[in-house]
Amino acid sequence: MLNLMDKHAVIRLKKEGHSNRSLEKMLGINRKTIGKYWNDYLKDMSQLETGDCDLREIQEKIAAPPKYDVSKRQYRKYTEAMDEFLDDILASEKKKDAILGTHKQK
């Protein structure tokens, strides 16, 4: 999860002229997230310039930490099918470990 410092670092570096891909490599943040932060910032700045809404509201929006929409997430019930699937994965991992041996450094 990203914090306010990451968001402001993205905005500052984009102002300096860095591309989304270079920021992705530097900060380890997905380029689509970088684009989202930058586009939101540009939209807010254009609203400030045109005077369409409250100055304080826009400043608080820019200075606010990132928010994530979790309202559309659904709960999952743990079912027998999931249990069998996980057991299959664990069994295949045991077979692989038996064939390859331990992964200790020699």
pLDDT of residue 60: 81
From residue 3, alpha-carbon distances to 32, 67, 106 in Å are 16, 9, 40
**pTM (whole model) above 0.75:** no
The pLDDT-based confidence of 75 (bands split at 50, 70, 90) is confident
CA distances from 2 to 7, 62, 75, 98 (A): 7, 15, 24, 39
Q: Is residue 13 scored above 90 in pLDDT?
A: yes
Mean pLDDT on 75-100 = 92
**Residue positions counted in the chain:** 106
Rounded mean pLDDT of 28-39?
91
Tell me which DSSP letter residue 65 carries.
P
pLDDT band with cut points at 50, 70 and 90 for residue 1? low
Confidence of residue 90 (pLDDT cuts 50, 70, 90): very high
